[in-house]
Amino acid sequence: MKIKNEMANWGPRSASYWMTLLIAAGIIIIGVRFMLVPRTGAAGFGIPLSSNLDLAFGRIKGIRDIFSGLALLPLLFFRMKKATAYVFTAAIIVPATDCLLVYLNNGPIMSQLIHGITVVYMAITSYILLRDTKKTTA
């Protein structure tokens, strides 16, 4: 009954739970902003939209961000630490690629820093999640 044991040992009392929830909620909010005001979202991202024809791409990014956040919520709700750890760790590729794209497009240094800090934050959170996972399943 590893699942019951896992649920009993991880949840709202764990820092890694809240650290993961912060990223999930944050990316949902960013996605909603992209859906509602794509120009503002793109400017905040670090690569502004160049014409009205680009508005659809902003909304495409928005729905993908919303999905990324929503994908973590059931794992958190059901306290599936191991699955959360693996999905969250794999998701680091998104802000890392975003950081690189903003850099390659001569985006603002602040946007590059935000994406880079997100990578570091997610790497630390992943480390904690994976470390905690090894303790529970060992």
* CA–CA separation, 23 and 68 (whole Å): 10
Per run of 10 residues, the mean pLDDT along the chain (length 138 residues) is 58 96 98 97 96 94 97 98 97 98 97 98 97 61
Q: What is the pTM of this model?
A: 0.88
pLDDT of the residue at 9: 81
User: Count of residues for the chain?
Assistant: 138
* CA–CA separation, 107 and 100 (whole Å): 10
pLDDT of the residue at 137: 55
Task: Provide the CA 80 distance to its chain's centre, in angstroms.
Answer: 17
pLDDT of the residue at 73: 98
* CA–CA separation, 117 and 39 (whole Å): 23
pLDDT of the residue at 51: 93
pLDDT of the residue at 1: 43
* CA–CA separation, 117 and 138 (whole Å): 32
Q: Select from 78, 91, 90 the least CA-distant residue to 11.
A: 78
Each domain of the chain, given as residue ranges in start order, spans: 2-137
pLDDT of the residue at 126: 97
